[in-house]
Amino acid sequence: MLEFDRHRRLRTSAAMRDLVRETHLNKDDLIMPVFVDATISGREEISSMPGIYRYSLGSILDEIKEIVSLGIKSIIIFGVPEKKDEVGTGAWEDNGIVQQAIRLIKKNYPELIVIADTCLCEYTSTGHCGILKDGVVLNDESLEYLTKTAVSQVAAGADIIAPSNAMDGYVAAIRQGLDKAGYENTPIMSYAVKFASSFYGPFRDAADGSPKEGPKDRKTYQMDPANRLEALREVASDEKEGADFVMVKPAMAFLDVMREVRNHTLLPLVAYNVSGEYAMVKAAAANGWINEEQIVYESLVGMKRAGADLIITYFAKDVAKKL
310-313 and 30-37 strand pairing: parallel
* From 81, 90, 177, 209, residue interacting with ligand PBG (rule: CB under 6 A): 209
Catalytic: which of 249, 282, 304, 317?
249
Q: Least distance from C-beta 103 to ligand PBG, angstroms? A: 21
Listed in sequence order, the residues at least 6 apart from 46 whose beta carbon sits closer than 8 Å to its beta carbon are 35, 52, 53, 54, 202, 205, 206
- Confirm or deny that 218 is annotated as ligand binding: yes
Is 129 a residue that touches ligand PBG (CB under 6 A)? yes
Q: Least distance from C-beta 143 to ligand PBG, angstroms? A: 15
- Confirm or deny that 142 is annotated as ligand binding: no
- Confirm or deny that 3 is annotated as ligand binding: no
The count of other CB atoms within 10 Å of the CB of residue 175 is: 21
> DSSP of 136-161, one letter per residue?
EEESHHHHHHHHHHHHHHHHHT-SEE
* From 64, 87, 121, 279, residue interacting with ligand PBG (rule: CB under 6 A): 121
- Confirm or deny that 191 is annotated as ligand binding: no
Q: Residue by residue, what is the 3-state secondary structure of 187-230?
A: CEEEEEEEECCHHHHHHHHHHCCCCCCCCCCCCCCCECCCCCHH
Query: Which has the closest alpha carbon to 256: 237, 239, 232?
Result: 232
For ligand PBG, the closer of residues 227 and 264 by Cβ is 227
247 vs 310: CA distance, rounded Å: 9
Q: Name the one range near ligand PBG by CB under 6 A: 82-90, 92-100, 116-124, 297-305.
A: 116-124
For ligand PBG, the closer of residues 177 and 209 by Cβ is 209
Q: Least distance from C-beta 69 to ligand PBG, angstroms? A: 24
Tell me if residue 73 is catalytic.
Answer: no
Is 137 a residue that touches ligand PBG (CB under 6 A)? no
CA dihedral 35, 38, 43, 44 (to 10 degrees): -80
- Please count the residues of this chain forming the interface with ligand PBG, following the rule CB under 6 A: 12
181 vs 29: CA distance, rounded Å: 30
* From 87, 119, 231, 306, residue interacting with ligand PBG (rule: CB under 6 A): 119
Encoded one letter per residue, x for contact with ligand PBG by CB under 6 A and - for no contact, window 151-170 reads -------------xx-----
Residue 54 DSSP label: E
Q: Least distance from C-beta 196 to ligand PBG, angstroms? A: 8
Residues 258-317 that bind ligand PBG (CB under 6 A): 274-275
78 vs 100: CA distance, rounded Å: 12
Tell me if residue 148 is catalytic.
Answer: no
245 vs 82: CA distance, rounded Å: 31
> DSSP of 69-84, one letter per residue?
HTT--EEEEEEE-S--
Encoded one letter per residue, x for contact with ligand PBG by CB under 6 A and - for no contact, window 189-208 reads -----------x--xx----
**Cβ-contact 165, 221 below 8 angstroms:** yes
1 vs 54: CA distance, rounded Å: 65
Residues with a catalytic annotation lie at 194, 249
Positions at the binding site for 5-aminolevulinate: 204, 218, 275, 314
In the complex, which residues of this chain contact ligand PBG (CB under 6 A)?
A: 117, 119, 121, 129, 164-165, 200, 203-204, 209, 274-275
Task: Please report, in range form, the residues annotated as the binding site for Zn(2+).
Answer: 119, 121, 129
